[in-house]
Amino acid sequence: MRPKKTLVLSLLFLGTCVVDSNPLDGSLQHLIERRRAPLLEADFLMAEKLVAANCTPSSINDFPPDLFTQEERMSGAIAIHVVVILYMCGVMGIVCDRYFVPSLEIISDYCGLPSDVAGATFMAMGTSAPELFSSVIGSFITEGDIGVGTIVGSAVFNILGVTALIGLAVGRESLKIDWFPISRDCIAYVLTVVLLIVVISDSFVTWYEACILLLFYALYVTAMIFNSKIERFSHLTVQRFTASNGEKRPLIDKQPSVSDADDDDLPEAIFEVPKGGFFAVALWLIFLPANIVLACTIPDLSGRRKFLFPLTFILSIIWIGLSSYVTVWMVTVAGYTLGIPDSIMGLTVLAAGTSVPEVFSSVLVARRGKGNMALCNLLGSNIFDILFCLGAPWLVKTAYSARNVWIQSPALTYTGITLLMTVVMLFLTLIVMRWKVNYKTGIICTFLYGGFLTMAVLYEFLMFGISNPC
């Protein structure tokens, strides 16, 4: 409120008190009341607009009602939500390790795909099930920005956070990375982010803009079909350039092919007691019910049952999507209970929650020596999230309702710069590390991700103000 306005209201209030002490002068009191009413009404409307502008609806309303009230959760019921989160993460790890990654390897071998192409296509589509479900919910159920927010938040975690985990999981063993697939997907991702910024820059999406997103993804898949020819041309071009500068080192590092997988890589039987002490046996007993349910619903690919890989792949994606949905639901309830603003939750815990499939699948294939598949899965997953997981629901929504999809996100410029900066930092990190991923790469990406989180949290608090749940 401006100082002059405050002074006027104070004088009017004092005048009213004086008039009340002199009931004989009713005409003066009526005049003061008539002058004060419009000012008070204007102040009320201004305050109402400020509160509405600074009020961010909690994403807890985008999920089914919780079984416990806020008081019960604060009294200790939140521990149940934490247990569910940990258990669902374990279930996703089992699905990825026992069913999803083996089926992906068989599909890639059957189609004759290199590991990087398999990671950027089939693997990226499978691990993006949570983002696709979130986008569908945001477009058709809540009609809010939950889909955009989930995809943007998980994109940064995929590039820096998951890469850090891969490096730390590999340890001192250097995982060699080929420069071409990473450069290819980085260029495609930069073009994808620029296209997204252009599409939502006017705060609404039309049907033809959604078509452009899907067509661009079709173009990306087409490039994958002719990847071998493009890669051969790129390597020959760079080889000529380096040869003219006296460079004799070969440019292509041998990567393990997907066909290297055999039955020895498959997990042990679910009823076989693991060796590893009390902790391993306890985990086996805790997750035995989940293993039994998964074994009854997803075909196992060991032995002669490898021909069932399409069904295993599809059912694994469904289980990953359902488990991720429950995980994000419980994380959202826990954050709401602890009073953490949704803007901060989306950048931290929720981003990690929706990226759990990428974490397990990428770390698993990286530890098997498939570095190209692991990193191309992260970049390909982000490309699939933006172009397909947003484009497809937007196209169906605009065609079904015959109206545009409105975007209410105010941090468009910051979001675009953040997404572009993360892929540039990843690319520069790999160049500095001479296209190798090890614990040093993990430490660098950990510090970069920590710096991003710090800047993002400061940005949310200092520039937007603290978000208040409605």
Q: What is the pLDDT of residue 95?
A: 87
Contacts of 455 (CB under 8 A, 6+ apart): none
Q: What is the pLDDT of residue 214?
A: 92
| CA–centroid distance for 20 within its chain | 62
Q: What is the pLDDT of residue 211?
A: 92
Per-residue pLDDT tens for 8-22? 444 444 444 444 444
Asked if residues 119 and 365 have their Cβ atoms less than 8 Å apart, the reply is yes
Q: How large is the average pLDDT for residues 61-73?
A: 85
Asked if residues 428 and 182 have their Cβ atoms less than 8 Å apart, the reply is no
Asked if residues 188 and 450 have their Cβ atoms less than 8 Å apart, the reply is no
pLDDT exceeds cutoff 70 at 42:
no
Could you tell me the residue ranges of all domains in the chain? 1-53, 68-260+301-469
Per-residue pLDDT tens for 222-260? 888 888 888 888 878 777 776 655 444 443 344 444 444
Asked if residues 210 and 400 have their Cβ atoms less than 8 Å apart, the reply is no
State how far the Cα of 94 lies from the Cα of 293, in Å rounded to an integer.
11
State how far the Cα of 290 lies from the Cα of 95, in Å rounded to an integer.
10
Count Cβ atoms within 10 A of the Cβ of residue 305 and give its class: 0-12 exposed, 13-18 middle, 19 or more buried: exposed
Q: What is the pLDDT of residue 293?
A: 93
DSSP class per residue in 163-232: HHHHHHHHTTS-EE--HHHHHHHHHHHHHHHHHHHHHHTTSEE-HHHHHHHHHHHHHHHHHHHTHHHHHH
Residue 335 CA neighbour count, 13 Å, CB half: 25
Return the amino acid letter for 81.
H
pLDDT exceeds cutoff 80 at 340:
no
Per-residue pLDDT tens for 103-153? 887 887 887 777 777 777 777 777 776 666 666 665 555 455 455 656 666
State how far the Cα of 80 lies from the Cα of 91, in Å rounded to an integer.
16
Return the amino acid letter for 456.
A
| CA–centroid distance for 209 within its chain | 22
Q: Which tokens sit at 240?
A: 């000529």
Asked if residues 115 and 181 have their Cβ atoms less than 8 Å apart, the reply is no
pLDDT exceeds cutoff 60 at 445:
yes
Which helix (DSSP H) or strand (DSSP E) does residue 384 occupy?
Answer: helix 371-384
Q: How large is the average pLDDT for residues 188-208?
A: 85
Per-residue pLDDT tens for 344-385? 666 677 677 777 777 888 888 888 888 888 888 888 888 888
State the residue for tokens 């749940």: 469
Q: How large is the average pLDDT for residues 60-87?
A: 87
State how far the Cα of 228 lies from the Cα of 234, in Å rounded to an integer.
10
Contacts of 204 (CB under 8 A, 6+ apart): 404, 405, 406, 407
- The residue with greater pLDDT, 26 or 306, is 306
Kindly indicate the confidence band of residue 191, based on its pLDDT and cuts at 50, 70 and 90. very high
E strands, 297-346, in order: none
Nearest CA among 338, 312, 322 for reference residue 129: 322
Per-residue pLDDT tens for 421-433? 888 888 998 898 8
Per cent of the chain over pLDDT 90 is 8
Asked if residues 233 and 432 have their Cβ atoms less than 8 Å apart, the reply is no
Q: What is the pLDDT of residue 277?
A: 74
- The residue with greater pLDDT, 64 or 22, is 64
Helix (H, G, I), strand (E, B) or coil at 29: helix
Which helix (DSSP H) or strand (DSSP E) does residue 436 occupy?
Answer: strand 436-437
State how far the Cα of 429 lies from the Cα of 444, in Å rounded to an integer.
8
State how far the Cα of 191 lies from the Cα of 197, in Å rounded to an integer.
10
Choosing among 3.40.50.1370, 3.40.1000.10, 1.20.120.80, 1.20.1420.30, the CATH entry for 68-260+301-469 is: 1.20.1420.30
State how far the Cα of 409 lies from the Cα of 426, in Å rounded to an integer.
26
Q: How large is the average pLDDT for residues 59-77?
A: 84
Q: What is the pLDDT of residue 346?
A: 62
The residues pairing with 99 across neighbouring beta strands, listed in sequence order, are none
- The residue with greater pLDDT, 260 or 335, is 335
Kindly indicate the confidence band of residue 311, based on its pLDDT and cuts at 50, 70 and 90. very high
In this structure, what are the phi and psi dihedrals at residue 10, rounded to the nearest 5 degrees? -65, -45
User: What does the DSSP 8-state code read for residue 437?
Assistant: E
- The residue with greater pLDDT, 104 or 263, is 104
State how far the Cα of 12 lies from the Cα of 31, in Å rounded to an integer.
11
User: What does the DSSP 8-state code read for residue 75?
Assistant: I
Q: What is the pLDDT of residue 240?
A: 75
- The residue with greater pLDDT, 104 or 29, is 104
State how far the Cα of 349 lies from the Cα of 406, in Å rounded to an integer.
26
State how far the Cα of 164 lies from the Cα of 220, in Å rounded to an integer.
26
Neighbours of 285 (CB within 10 A): 10
Q: How large is the average pLDDT for residues 403-418?
A: 67
Q: What is the pLDDT of residue 414?
A: 66
pLDDT, averaged across the chain: 74
Q: How many residues does the chain have?
A: 470
Kindly indicate the confidence band of residue 80, based on its pLDDT and cuts at 50, 70 and 90. very high
Asked if residues 321 and 130 have their Cβ atoms less than 8 Å apart, the reply is yes
Q: What is the pLDDT of residue 465?
A: 47
pTM: predicted TM-score of the whole model, two decimal places: 0.69
Indicate left, alpha or beta for 303 from its phi (over 0: left) and psi (-120 to 50: alpha). left
